[in-house]
Amino acid sequence: MKELVPLSKASKILGVTTKTLRNWDEAGKIKVVRTSGNHRRVPIEEIERIAGRKQASRTKTLVYCRCSTQKQQENLERQVGRVLEQCSRMNWIAELYKDIGSGLNENRKDFRRLLKRLRDEDVARVVVEYKDRIARYGFETFRHYCESHGVEVVILNDSVKKEFEEEMTEDIISLVASYSARMYGRRGGRKKS
């Protein structure tokens, strides 16, 4: 008799959600067995088949680099060089995404492109030098998003950077300036009595 596992366990093994497994079942992409209580169970052979196919098809590495200001352009280029060099050492096929902008700004052009690209089946991992290159706050949400699409997040240097206070100060100033502009811009549009 073949070994069967519940959807929750199969989803963890495959790195997808249980909803995805139910969708695959309905689309005929995965063979499941129904229990007498009508619960889905996935044969180990099916998990191995899909895991092998997923592993073989996921070959791309997305590299993301960011700096806060134009003045840091040289730092950005050095960051790109270090990360691409590491990818080369690991024999990873890398696609580069880079931005100049605050880690608090979620509307960075290449960051948005990266988020869309993560959904593709050929993406194996995202590589960043420091986790704050992705976002100043909310990195764990980003990691969860990646993992829900079967994408690994690789942080090359998990220690805190020396210029942390400097960049944090720039981000706070940028944030205050942005909200001030919105507030005063809104106020300027009102008619005076």
Report, as residue numbers or ranges, the catalytic residues.
68
Please give the angle made by the CA atoms of 39, 40 and 43, to the nearest 5 degrees.
Answer: 140
- Cβ-based burial of 53 (10 A; exposed 0-12, middle 13-18, buried ≥19): exposed
Helix, coil or strand: residue 59: coil
Q: Which amino acid is at 77?
A: E
CB 80 within 8 A of CB 98: yes
Angstrom distance (rounded) from CA 136 to CA 141: 12
Angstrom distance (rounded) from CA 72 to CA 83: 17
Written as six digits, the tokens of 61 are 């590495």
Angstrom distance (rounded) from CA 98 to CA 181: 26
Written as six digits, the tokens of 125 are 């991992």
